């Protein structure tokens, strides 16, 4: 459990911006623990996964044990303990997307990227995952790349989508890759 | 970007500001926004609840519980603070209506939350969005900040002595959290497992306080009910089913999209007139009327079916969350049943055994069946397993998995039989799911 010491050394796990955001987050609820799930997700967005230092830091900030944090985190499908690609391709294959060719989209990504389910490309740029309904049923088949939606897809549209993210990565100058 | 559609039969109430830039607060106000909240502030709690009761507004999340009645269950006096909880954890396969509400009209959700707060005497509301809806969360967060800046939220809303605050919250991927008590667990920073009921949330909810929890579409409808007047709103729909509904049309249809139609609108017309019929000139095989957990209907069952909670219930299915999934004659219903069950098996939280084990066994049975290794007795076993899950779980997820499965077996038994004795799937097509035999 975290100590009661009010002057805990400031975190080096998160950027100053994220640390400030998380400071504000815990303050807004009637109960501090309500910040846990958003905190884990925002931390993961920056760090890439819930690494041991992230779990430890979140536990300290909420005032609960690391095991408690892991117990909660393991429930939610978006939270992960291992890194994924810089761009996480999540292909919906649930019923509405399936009816309109969701599996064809998924197979095309597998071909283009040459990765297995939940695999990461050698350059670390992309990871591929089949996901459940993402709430774009009327615009199926749909995918999410990180938090961006792409809908009404055809297999032919896949290479263009991948290229757009490759260019985005170049524009980022390889930082945070 | 989700494409907006329209059809002459639509009655645009909840969707009337879609595509008009109403996520900007000035535009929302220009289009009549926040007038309803101001009116409710003047009229008070009893008036609001009576108005919502008279409107025959029923919960848009799927169960169709009368909203005004739900609000009236919250005790007037409470030692613990009361809360309003907006369920935007939209995850029922086939459903994408809240997506559009958050995208095009976030202030209607905020205004509806304020009104619900005034009705039950709460000072704090939460708007919970599924984790995948990050871009929508950012839109809602900005809308909330704008509403604070105008004094519509905060210590003295609209210059009154009344306080009301809103906190936005993200989930992190879990269908089960769409269940009301699991959502409260999640909002308290825990695993999203359901609570045993009673006590119901209206008495013991979030942080142990009385809580009203409503679907985002229900909440977004509330300001419109107040603006139109309860009687006028109720008159749009059918008896006991007030107003309109956002129907999310998907699957093998020419013009998929989210259409707002009056309650009671004919399902056959939704498929053929509104949706333009089955795509590529194929024939209709089946329709899932209200999201993946609602029992499938055959073409002859939709002929005279009015889409309201009571009529669809009488037809042996449910109006559910408004996800109308159209299935053509070249679809394998065993595969469809399997994909549906794979979803529930993945999403079962594991808290109660009939659901955790039932969904797993059903997925295994259906996988084996679809791969051509089923035995004749498996058909009855699938039905038997599903029937034994019904009503035996803490939350409706077990029922949501069992109900459609029973209907698939009952209505498409011939297709199950077609898969017997190692026969290849008669509907197998390119890109069919990669299934491992278990």
- CATH classification (class only), B244-328: alpha beta
Q: Do B251 and A144 touch (CB under 8 A)?
A: no
The pLDDT of residue B292 is: 97
Interior CA angle at B26 toward B21 and B29, to 5°?
A: 95
What is the distance between the alpha carbons of residues A11 and A56, in angstroms, rounded to a whole number?
11
What is the distance between the alpha carbons of residues B236 and B242, in angstroms, rounded to a whole number?
7
Q: Is the pLDDT of residue A174 over 80?
A: no
Instruction: Find out whether B260 and B245 touch, Cβ atoms under 8 Å.
Output: yes
Under CATH, domain A87-171 is a member of which superfamily?
Answer: Glutaredoxin (3.40.30.10)
The pLDDT of residue B337 is: 97
Q: Give residue-wise pLDDT tens across range B213-250.
A: 999 999 999 999 999 999 999 999 999 999 999 999 99
The pLDDT of residue B429 is: 53
Q: Is the pLDDT of residue B438 over 50?
A: no
- Which residue matches tokens 């289009």? B31
What secondary structure letter does DSSP report for A85?
-
Instruction: Find out whether B225 and B55 touch, Cβ atoms under 8 Å.
Output: yes
Nearest Cβ partner for B432 among A71, A103, A147: A103
List, in sequence order, the alpha helices (H) in B209-290.
Answer: 216-228, 230-236, 267-269
Cα dist. A104→A145, A147, B361, B363 in Å? 17, 22, 27, 22
- Nearest CA of chain A to the CA of B416: how many Å? 18
- What are φ and ψ of residue A129, in 5° steps? -150, 140
Nearest Cβ partner for A78 among B173, B188, B347: B173
Q: Which residues pair with B128 in a beta bridge?
A: B87, B169
Nearest Cβ partner for A103 among B325, B340, B431: B431
Percent of chain A whose predicted confidence (pLDDT) is above 90: 88
Strands B124-129, B165-170: pairing is parallel
B433 interfacial to chain A (CB closer than 8 Å): yes
Q: Average pLDDT of chain B?
A: 95
The pLDDT of residue B372 is: 80
Q: Is the pLDDT of residue B425 over 90?
A: no
Query: Which of B7, B85, B96, B101 would you mutate first to test chain A, the one with the most A CBs within 10 A?
Result: B96
- Consecutive H or E run containing A110: helix A102-113
Which two three-digit tokens encode residue B334?
A: 């065993």
Q: Is the pLDDT of residue B348 over 50?
A: yes
Work out the average pLDDT over B83-108: 98
Contacts of B81 in chain A (CB under 8 A): 30
Q: Is the dihedral of CA B218, B86, A88, B194 positive or negative?
A: negative
- Which residue matches tokens 């795509």? B279
Work out the average pLDDT over B110-126: 98
Tell me the domain boundaries of chain B. 25-236, 244-328, 333-418
Which residue of chain B has the CA closest to A117? B434
The pLDDT of residue A2 is: 44
Percent of chain B whose predicted confidence (pLDDT) is above 90: 92
Query: Which of B93, B97, B350, B432 would you mutate first to test chain A, the one with the most A CBs within 10 A?
Result: B93
Q: Give residue-wise pLDDT tens across range A64-93.
A: 999 999 999 999 999 999 999 999 999 999
Which residue of chain A has the CA closest to B330? A99
- Which residue matches tokens 């029937």? B387
Q: Do A133 and B94 touch (CB under 8 A)?
A: yes
- What is the SS3 assignment for A108? helix
The pLDDT of residue B418 is: 86
Q: Do domains B244-328 and B333-418 have the same CATH topology?
A: no
B172 interfacial to chain A (CB closer than 8 Å): yes
Contacts of B252 in chain A (CB under 8 A): 99-100
Residue A17: partners with Cβ closer than 8 Å, 6 or more residues away: none
The pLDDT of residue A172 is: 86
Greater model confidence, B369 or B251: B251
The pLDDT of residue B374 is: 83
Q: Is the pLDDT of residue B38 over 70?
A: yes
Q: A21-30, B251-260, B367-376, B410-419: which range is least confident on average?
A: B367-376
Size of interface A-B (CB pairs under 8 A): 158
- In order, the DSSP letters of B177-190 are GGSHHHHHHHHTTS
Q: Give residue-wise pLDDT tens across range A1-35.
A: 444 444 444 458 999 999 999 999 999 999 999 99
Q: Is the pLDDT of residue B153 over 90?
A: yes
Work out the average pLDDT over B340-353: 96
Which residue of chain B has the CA closest to A101? B431
Work out the average pLDDT over B191-210: 96
CATH 2.30.31.70, applies to B25-236: no
- Consecutive H or E run containing A149: strand A148-150
- Which residue matches tokens 């259906």? B366
The pLDDT of residue A4 is: 45
- Candidates 1.20.1440.230, 1.10.260.40, 3.40.309.10, 1.20.1050.40; CATH matching B333-418: 1.20.1440.230
């Amino acid at each position: 459990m975290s100590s009661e010491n009010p002057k805990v050394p400031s975190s080096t796990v998160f950027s100053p911006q994220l640390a400030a955001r998380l400071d504000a987050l815990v303050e807004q609820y009637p109960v501090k623990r309500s910040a846990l799930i958003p905190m884990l997700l925002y931390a993961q967005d920056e760090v890439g996964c819930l690494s041991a230092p992230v779990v430890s830091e979140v536990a300290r900030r909420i005032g609960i044990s690391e095991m408690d944090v892991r117990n909660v985190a393991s429930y939610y499908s978006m939270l992960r303990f291992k890194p994924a690609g810089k761009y996480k391709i999540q292909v919906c294959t649930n019923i509405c997307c399936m009816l309109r060719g969701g599996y064809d989209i998924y197979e095309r990504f597998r071909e283009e990227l040459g990765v297995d389910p939940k695999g990461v490309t050698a350059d670390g740029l992309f990871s591929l995952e089949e996901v459940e309904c993402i709430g774009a049923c009327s615009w199926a088949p749909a995918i999410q790349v990180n938090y961006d939606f792409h809908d009404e897809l055809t297999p032919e549209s896949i290479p263009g989508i991948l290229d757009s993210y490759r260019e985005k990565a170049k524009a980022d100058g390889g930082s945070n890759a | 970007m989700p494409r907006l559609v329209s059809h002459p039969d639509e009655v645009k109430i909840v969707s009337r500001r879609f595509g008009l830039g109403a996520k900007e607060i000035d535009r929302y106000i220009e289009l009549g926004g926040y007038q309803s909240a101001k009116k409710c502030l003047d009229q008070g709690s009893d008036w609001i609840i009576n108005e919502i009761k008279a409107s025959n507004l029923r919960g848009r999340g799927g169960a169709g519980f009368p909203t005004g009645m739900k609000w009236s269950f919250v005790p007037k006096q409470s030692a613990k603070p009361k809360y309003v909880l907006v369920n935007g954890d939209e995850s029922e396969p086939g459903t994408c209506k809240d997506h559009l509400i958050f995208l095009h009209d976030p202030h209607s959700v905020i205004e509806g939350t304020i009104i619900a707060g005034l009705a039950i005497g709460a000072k704090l509301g939460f708007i919970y969005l599924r984790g995948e809806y990050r871009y929508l969360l950012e839109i809602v967060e900005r809308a909330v900040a704008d509403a604070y800046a105008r004094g519509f939220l905060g210590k003295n809303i609209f210059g009154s002595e009344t306080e009301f605050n809103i906190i936005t919250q993200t989930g992190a991927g879990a269908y089960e959290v769409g269940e009301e008590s699991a959502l409260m667990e999640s909002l308290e920073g825990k695993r999203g497992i359901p609570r045993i009921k009673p006590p119901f949330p209206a008495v013991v909810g979030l942080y142990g306080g009385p809580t009203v929890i409503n679907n985002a579409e229900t909440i977004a409808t509330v300001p419109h009910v107040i603006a139109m007047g309860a009687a006028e709103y109720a008159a749009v729909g059918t008896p006991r089913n007030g107003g309109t509904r956002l129907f999310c049309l998907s699957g093998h249809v020419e013009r998929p999209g989210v259409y707002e139609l009056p309650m009671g609108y004919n399902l056959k017309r939704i498929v053929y007139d509104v949706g333009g019929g089955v795509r590529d000139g194929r024939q209709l095989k089946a329709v899932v009327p209200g999201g993946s957990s609602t029992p499938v209907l055959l073409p002859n069952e939709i002929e005279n079916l009015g889409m309201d909670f009571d009529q669809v219930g009488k037809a042996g299915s449910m109006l559910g969350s408004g996800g109308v999934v159209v299935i053509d004659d070249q679809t394998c219903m065993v595969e469809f049943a399997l994909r549906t069950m794979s979803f529930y098996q993945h999403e079962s939280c594991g808290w109660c055994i009939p659901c955790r084990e039932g969904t797993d066994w059903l997925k295994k049975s259906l996988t084996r069946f679809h791969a051509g290794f089923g035995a004749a007795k498996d058909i009855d076993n699938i039905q038997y397993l599903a029937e034994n899950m019904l009503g035996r779980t803490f939350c409706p997820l077990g029922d949501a998995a069992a109900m459609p499965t029973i209907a698939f077996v009952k209505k498409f038994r011939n297709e199950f039989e077609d898969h017997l004795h190692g026969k290849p799937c008669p509907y197998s097509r390119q890109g069919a799911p990669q299934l491992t035999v278990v």
